[in-house]
Amino acid sequence: MKPIDQVRETAERISSMEIRGAGRIATAAAASLKEYALSVQAESLDDLNQKAAQAADLLLKTRPTAVSLSNAIRMVMKYEAEEIDDARQAIASNADRFIENSRRAVEKIGQIGSRRIRDGDTILTHCNSNAAISVISAAHRSGKKIQVIATESRPRFQGITTIGMLDQMGIETELIVDSAVRTVMNDVDLVVVGADVITANGTLVNKIGTAQIALCAREARTSFMVAAETYKFSPMTILGELVTIEERDATEVLADISRYRHVRVRNPAFDVTPHQYIDLICTEAGAIPPEMSYLIIRERLGWDMEEESI
Ligand code: RI2
């Protein structure tokens, strides 16, 4: 396989959601760029830089919402080198560092977030988030007796992945359809969800349905926690950029749309939860109120206002 075909294949697996989850797509992209940088033929340093940038672009276009992808690619592609081999090594070690930091961040989020869970709590989660599951599993491992309510998360049913993971850990779990959230909310002590994007003002962009859950939690006075690595925060939102909400194929919702003449399917993959509905964002840098998101972007992502492109 040509080196660029490996990148194309990874991009295809991310687009089709064979590889999914904001964290996983970021680490898959970093690993793909590393492999590419180490194997592609290059005639000069410029040639390598250009080829790596093209490969990065292929990966970047796969999922338009997840900022984890652009943050990962920006971190991997941040290098200065005088020789081709130095550039290859710099990309490879940046990718390794990103992947290792990501793994550690999820672990740390679990430790920090689990302290907010009390013995006997019922936790509701949506979709399938590694960061959210890390919080739940850390609470379970620390000996707290907890139950989880997991939504199906239509149309891709990531909730089935979640119940499988929780089941493996021996955690008591109930599966509900997405529309049952309000019905069960009075039984819930804490909502824990992941994040695809957190903006400079603490707004959360996450799997479609999250905003409705936040609304129900607010009505029931139930705490709403977001579990997110700091690379889920979006630097570009400081510069006023809006988050693009990915619209996926209609067939994910309705297989046979052709038999209807007047029907159109809308399939937005994510929705927007205002920061007022979020009690806490649990990151590897600590548990913060959403209003502190700006500082996370400036301090953890080292974002410079001059740096307008990735
Ligand atoms: P982790 C997922 O997106 C879900 O929206 C989930 O909440 C988010 O990524 C974060 O997941 P999708 O790829 O990075 O299923 O915490 O569309 O695993």
Pairwise CA distance, residues 58 & 229, whole Å: 24
Predicted local confidence at residue 310, as pLDDT: 41
- 196 part of the active site: yes
Pairwise CA distance, residues 136 & 237, whole Å: 30
- pLDDT tens by residue, 61-88: 999 999 999 999 999 999 999 999 999 9
- pLDDT tens by residue, 11-68: 999 999 999 999 999 999 999 999 999 999 999 999 999 999 999 999 999 999 999 9
The CATH H-level superfamily of 3-108 is translation initiation factor eif-2b, domain 1 (1.20.120.420)
Pairwise CA distance, residues 50 & 67, whole Å: 22
71 ligand 1 Cβ < 6 A: no
Atom of ligand 1 nearest to the CA of 128: 6
pTM value? 0.95
110 ligand 1 Cβ < 6 A: no
Dihedral sign from CA coordinates of 69, 72, 75, 79: negative
Q: To test the ligand 1 pocket, which listed residue (129, 193, 208, 267) has its Cβ within 8 A of the most ligand atoms?
A: 129
194 ligand 1 Cβ < 6 A: yes
Write phi, then psi, for 15 (nearest 5 degrees). -60, -45
* Closest to 63 (Cα-Cα) out of 129, 19, 3: 19
Domain-wise residue ranges, the chain: 3-108, 109-301
- Show the CA angle centred on residue 278, arms to residues 241 and 24, nearest 5°: 65
Atom of ligand 1 nearest to the CA of 126: 7
The CATH H-level superfamily of 109-301 is Translation initiation factor eif-2b; domain 2 (3.40.50.10470)
Q: To test the ligand 1 pocket, which listed residue (162, 196, 212) has its Cβ within 8 A of the most ligand atoms?
A: 196
75: buried, middle or exposed (CB in 10 Å: 19+, 13-18, 0-12)? Answer: buried
Among protein residues, the one whose CA lies closest to atom 2 of ligand 1? 21
pLDDT averaged over 10-residue windows placed end to end, the chain, 310 residues: 97 98 98 98 97 98 95 96 97 98 98 98 98 98 98 98 98 98 98 98 98 98 98 93 95 94 97 98 98 93 61
Pairwise CA distance, residues 270 & 207, whole Å: 4
Q: How many whole angstroms from 197 Cα to the centroid of ligand 1?
A: 10
**What residues contact 143, with CB distance under 8 A and at least 6 apart?**
none
